């Protein structure tokens, strides 16, 4: 079985679903002959034709609105925003229509669509190509926000997102698009949405994270283990609707929690998780909840961007602070 | 000097303000006088419906309502030209088109009366049409996306969107007609130019002499019609729908009309436009000319007018009663349509809100 990267897993999932479901179409800028700027749609137009792999005019608003219309007519569109920094013109269509069509019409019309976007920093890209803006979507009711963190989860969660009867924002951590390979059988098996994945069991501290930071968090757990500290690592994967029970169960066990994300700290999605811990697990805590996040600044251009992103060292430090507190 | 491209915009009118034929080549549907009477009757019932809606709002039985007074020819012209399998994406005042396609007055009242069930149109073909779209021009892209779906599946269906003169300033409108032109989508975009976007007049929206010509930039067929002349609207629609259905391309139709009422019941148009302008608007309104024309053809008279009005009154009273008797949805309704299935986390919030509600009773 072939070993594939995260971006290849995205392509594999799209190809599988296009092969097995005629209503699946892909649309966006450069998704056709060019196969997408990251090659996520490589080879799809050749296989499935221009009617199902659609190069659109260069307008994000158009892509987002077409996606709503296609989905209402019973297609399963997978739209690509070329970068998360260009997703803002799509937000009106996503927030005002995709996420509320079912509610508006009492279920008469629905939008089973996916918006994919390469997400996050760390690839030495130009301005507007490195944002972590998932929290701008997590406050929109009726929308799922999903972030895979490995090739296998990219494959399984994208299949689930396409099959889901409601709209999904699927942010792909581009920093780890090609970071490593793993075996991902092309068996069409979806992973469940709306659940967190416990990637590593531990007893002393819970590291809660998503996207590219899963890798740093796992490395931090390795480092902490060397120092005799047992860290549990949770990949949230679907931010909304949130599976808080898995997080609560872990925090009740460890009594300590470090939330790791690369978006700015204030009102980032870590704030929601910290608030939920305060509401539901306060008396289980042995130490204050820590957040390791980007600062409340714009992500700098690339000479400084690695100083912005959470590092293994910062995660280890935060975990050790929670242990020092109790 | 060489010319790269050259354009012109046709203006189409069959009946002048008094109902005199200004051209003799009446389209086939206009020679079917029974059908023309049916169209007139729907225009009249739309007007009766509109007056009833405003009365409901003024007596506190309806929330804010967007009137369609003066738009009857444009709206009925659009709705009556479409086939059942086509799809309509409106903004929020195109009742004449929607009633034709099976939206019930009680559903309109429910929506403006604060109940989402008003958008759950029960009758076909309205049942597969889009619901009212309040964010300006966004519905144009839903129509374009629908047209794209029809093209992908090889269905001979057309998506129609309607938009105002103000809405034609927005990128969503341009995006929709642009992609329709680039990909030959079966889209008909109708700009119902009623001269006013709340308080902002048409001249502030665009320096272009017509709004129809915006379609030229998109590579679409474009025409401006007298939007108060239902024969002109209907003819332009029929032609546009046929071209789109046959894969010959989309269209932009500008129907020039006049908003005789306020923008909505929350607006007071006296703040920004003069009485004379509105008086002139009434001179050109759409009912009078069609009535005069039908009377001259001896297929309509005062007795028929009164009889039909009485029937409309009865119909609307029935609809109003049905609306007023509708029980408010249970509090859980705000949760139940957020997703196909209520997620566990949301179910906890629903249970809490339900418990508060049960305590209150």
User: Does residue A3 carry a pLDDT above 90?
Assistant: yes
Average pLDDT, chain B: 97
Pair B160, B180 in one domain: yes
Pair B264, B233 in one domain: yes
Q: What is the mean pLDDT of residues B290-311?
A: 98
H or E, element range at A55: strand A53-55
- Tell me the CA distances in angstroms from B72 to B46, B77, B90, B297, one per residue in order: 7, 8, 14, 21
Subunit contact A107:B151, Cβ cutoff 8 A:
no
Pair B151, B22 in one domain: yes
Pair B294, B339 in one domain: no
Q: What are the tens digits of pLDDT across the range B123-149?
A: 999 999 999 999 999 999 999 999 999
User: Of B135, B142, B186, which is closest to residue B164 (Cα–Cα)?
Assistant: B135
- Tell me the CA distances in angstroms from A141 to A95, A247, B337, B352, one per residue in order: 8, 21, 10, 17
Q: Which residues of B touch A69 (CB under 8 A)?
A: 89, 141-149, 159
Q: Residue B78, Cβ neighbours under 10 Å: how many?
A: 33
Pair B150, B243 in one domain: yes
* Dist. CA A281–CA A257, nearest whole Å: 11
Query: Is residue B358 in some structural domain?
Result: yes
Query: Is-contact A21 A49, C-beta < 8 A?
Result: no
Query: Is residue B3 in some structural domain?
Result: no
Query: Is-contact B186 B247, C-beta < 8 A?
Result: yes
Query: Is-contact A93 A61, C-beta < 8 A?
Result: yes
User: Among B120, B146, B182, whose Cβ lies nearest the Cβ of A106?
Assistant: B120
For residue B142, give its domain range. 10-329
* Dist. CA B193–CA B210, nearest whole Å: 10
Q: Which residues of A touch B177 (CB under 8 A)?
A: none
B105-112 and B33-58 are packed helices; what angle lies between their axes, rounded to 10 degrees?
30
Q: What is the mean pLDDT of residues A52-78?
A: 98
**pLDDT class for A23, splitting at 50, 70, 90?**
very high
Query: Is residue B4 in some structural domain?
Result: no
- To the nearest whole percent, how much of chain A has pLDDT over 90? 99
Q: What is the pLDDT at residue B62?
A: 96
Query: Is residue B345 in some structural domain?
Result: yes
* CATH code of the domain covering residue B19: 3.40.50.970
H or E, element range at A170: strand A168-173
- Tell me the CA distances in angstroms from B231 to A37, A62, B75, B97, one per residue in order: 50, 33, 12, 15
Q: What is the pLDDT at residue A187?
A: 97
Q: What is the mean pLDDT of residues B256-263?
A: 96
User: Among B87, B120, B340, whose Cβ lies nearest the Cβ of A165?
Assistant: B340
β-strand partners of A115:
A79, A169
Q: What is the pLDDT at residue B361?
A: 72
Subunit contact B340:A51, Cβ cutoff 8 A:
no
Pair B275, B347 in one domain: no
Pair B116, B173 in one domain: yes
Q: What is the pLDDT at residue B274?
A: 94
Q: What are the tens digits of pLDDT across the range A308-320?
A: 999 999 999 999 9
* Catalytic positions of B: 259, 263, 272
Query: Is residue B1 in some structural domain?
Result: no
Pair B241, B360 in one domain: no
CA A46 from centroid of its chain's CA atoms = 28
Q: How many CB pairs under 8 A join A and B?
A: 135
Pair B132, B218 in one domain: yes
Q: What is the DSSP letter of A96?
A: I
A65 Cα to chain B: minimum distance (Å): 5
Interface test mutation site (partner A, options B86, B126, B175, B328, max chain A beta carbons within 10 A): B175
Q: Which residues of A touch B123 (CB under 8 A)?
A: none
List strand residue ranges (DSSP E) for A71-131, in order. Answer: 76-80, 114-119
Subunit contact B116:A56, Cβ cutoff 8 A:
no
Q: Give, in degrees to the nearest 5, the angle at Cα B194 between B191 and B199.
A: 120
Pair B248, B139 in one domain: yes
Q: Which two tokens stand for residue A204?
A: 């002393």
Q: What is the pLDDT at residue A1?
A: 66
Query: Is residue B266 in some structural domain?
Result: yes
Q: Residue B93, Cβ neighbours under 10 Å: how many?
A: 25
Subunit contact A62:B116, Cβ cutoff 8 A:
no
What is the number of structural domains in chain B? 2
Pair B214, B190 in one domain: yes
Q: What is the mean pLDDT of residues B208-217?
A: 97
From the candidates A129, A135, A261, A298, give the one annotated as an active-site residue: A129
Q: What is the mean pLDDT of residues A274-294?
A: 98
Query: Is residue B2 in some structural domain?
Result: no
Domains and CATH numbers, chain A: 3-183 (3.40.50.970), 197-324 (3.40.50.920)
* Dist. CA B94–CA B299, nearest whole Å: 27
Q: What are the tens digits of pLDDT across the range A88-110?
A: 999 999 999 999 999 999 999 99
* Dist. CA A270–CA B83, nearest whole Å: 51
**pLDDT class for A267, splitting at 50, 70, 90?**
very high
**pLDDT class for A149, splitting at 50, 70, 90?**
very high
Long-range contacts of B293-299 (CB under 8 A, 24+ apart): B293/B15, B293/B19, B293/B20, B293/B21, B294/B33, B294/B36, B294/B37, B294/B40, B296/B19, B297/B33, B299/B33, B299/B34, B299/B36, B299/B37
Pair B349, B274 in one domain: no
Please give the span between the terminal C-alpha atoms of chain B, in angstroms, as a whole number: 81
Q: Which residues of B touch A (CB under 8 A)?
A: 87, 89, 116-117, 119-121, 127, 130-131, 133, 135, 138, 140-152, 159, 171-172, 175-176, 178-179, 182-183, 333, 337-340, 343-346
User: Among B119, B138, B176, whose Cβ lies nearest the Cβ of A104?
Assistant: B119
- To the nearest whole percent, how much of chain B has pLDDT over 70? 100
Please name the residue that has the structure tokens 């915009």.
B9
CA A57 from centroid of its chain's CA atoms = 26
Minimal-distance CA residue of chain A relative to B152: A51
């Amino acid at each position: 079985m072939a070993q594939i990267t995260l971006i290849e897993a995205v392509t594999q999932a799209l190809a599988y679903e296009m092969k097995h479901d005629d209503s699946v179409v892909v649309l966006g800028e450069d998704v056709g002959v060019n196969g997408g700027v990251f090659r996520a749609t490589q080879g799809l137009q050749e296989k499935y034709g221009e009617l199902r792999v659609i190069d659109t005019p260069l307008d994000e608003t158009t892509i987002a609105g077409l996606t709503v219309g296609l989905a209402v007519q019973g297609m399963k569109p997978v739209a690509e925003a070329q970068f998360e920094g260009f997703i803002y013109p799509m937000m009106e269509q996503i927030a005002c229509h995709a996420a509320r069509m079912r509610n508006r019409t009492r279920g008469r019309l629905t939008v089973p669509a996916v918006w994919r976007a390469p997400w996050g920093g760390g690839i030495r890209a130009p301005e507007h190509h490195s944002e972590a803006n998932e929290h701008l979507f997590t406050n929109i009711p009726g929308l799922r926000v999903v972030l895979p963190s490995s090739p296998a989860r990219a494959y399984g969660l994208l299949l689930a997102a396409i099959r889901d009867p409601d709209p999904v924002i699927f942010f792909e951590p581009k920093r780890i698009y090609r970071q490593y390979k793993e075996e991902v059988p092309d068996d069409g098996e979806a992973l469940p949405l709306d659940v967190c994945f416990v990637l590593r069991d531990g007893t002393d501290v819970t590291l809660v994270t998503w996207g590219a930071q899963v890798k740093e968090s796992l490395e931090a757990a390795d480092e902490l283990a060397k120092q005799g500290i047992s860290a549990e690592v949770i990949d949230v994967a679907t931010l909304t609707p949130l599976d808080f029970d898995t997080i609560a169960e872990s925090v009740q066990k460890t009594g300590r929690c470090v939330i790791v994300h690369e978006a700015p700290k204030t009102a980032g999605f870590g704030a929601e998780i910290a608030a939920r811990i305060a509401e539901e697990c306060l008396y289980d805590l042995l130490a204050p909840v820590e957040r390791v996040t980007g600062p409340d600044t714009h992500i700098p251009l690339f000479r400084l961007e690695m100083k912005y992103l959470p590092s293994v060292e910062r995660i280890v430090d935060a975990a050790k602070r929670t242990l020092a507190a109790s | 000097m060489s010319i790269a491209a050259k354009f012109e915009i046709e203006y189409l009118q069959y009946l002048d303000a008094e109902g005199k034929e200004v051209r003799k080549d009446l389209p086939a549907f206009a020679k079917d006088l029974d059908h023309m009477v049916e169209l007139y009757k729907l225009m009249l019932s739309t007007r009766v419906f509109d007056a009833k809606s405003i009365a409901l709002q003024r007596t506190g039985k309806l929330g804010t309502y967007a009137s369609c007074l003066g738009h009857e020819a444009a709206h009925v012209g659009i709705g009556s030209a479409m086939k059942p399998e086509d799809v309509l994406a409106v903004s929020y005042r195109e009742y004449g088109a929607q009633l034709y396609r099976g939206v019930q007055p009680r559903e309109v009242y429910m929506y403006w009366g604060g109940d989402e069930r008003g958008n759950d149109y029960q009758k076909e073909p309205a049942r597969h049409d889009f619901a009212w779209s309040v964010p300006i021009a966004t519905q144009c892209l839903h129509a374009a996306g629908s047209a794209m779906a029809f093209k992908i599946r090889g269905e001979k269906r057309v998506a129609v969107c309607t938009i105002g003169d103000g809405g034609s300033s927005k990128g969503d409108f341009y995006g929709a007609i642009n992609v329709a032109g680039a990909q030959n989508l079966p889209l008909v975009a109708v700009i119902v130019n009623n001269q006013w976007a709340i308080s902002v007049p048409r001249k502030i929206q665009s320096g272009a002499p017509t709004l129809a010509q915006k379609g030229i930039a998109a590579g679409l067929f474009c025409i401006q019609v007298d939007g108060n002349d239902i024969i002109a609207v209907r003819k332009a629609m029929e032609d546009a729908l046929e071209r789109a259905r046959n894969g010959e391309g989309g269209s932009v139709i500008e129907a020039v009309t006049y908003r005789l009422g306020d923008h909505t019941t929350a607006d007071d148009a006296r703040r920004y436009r003069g009485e004379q302008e509105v008086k002139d608007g009434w001179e050109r309104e759409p009912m009078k000319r069609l009535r005069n024309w039908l009377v001259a053809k001896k297929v309509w008279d005062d007795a028929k007018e009164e009889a039909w009005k009485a029937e409309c009154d009865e119909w609307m009273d029935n609809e109003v009663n049905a609306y007023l008797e509708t029980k408010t949805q249970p509090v859980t309704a705000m949760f139940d349509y957020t997703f196909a299935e209520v997620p566990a986390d949301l179910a906890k919030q629903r249970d809490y809100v339900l418990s508060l509600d049960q305590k209150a009773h």
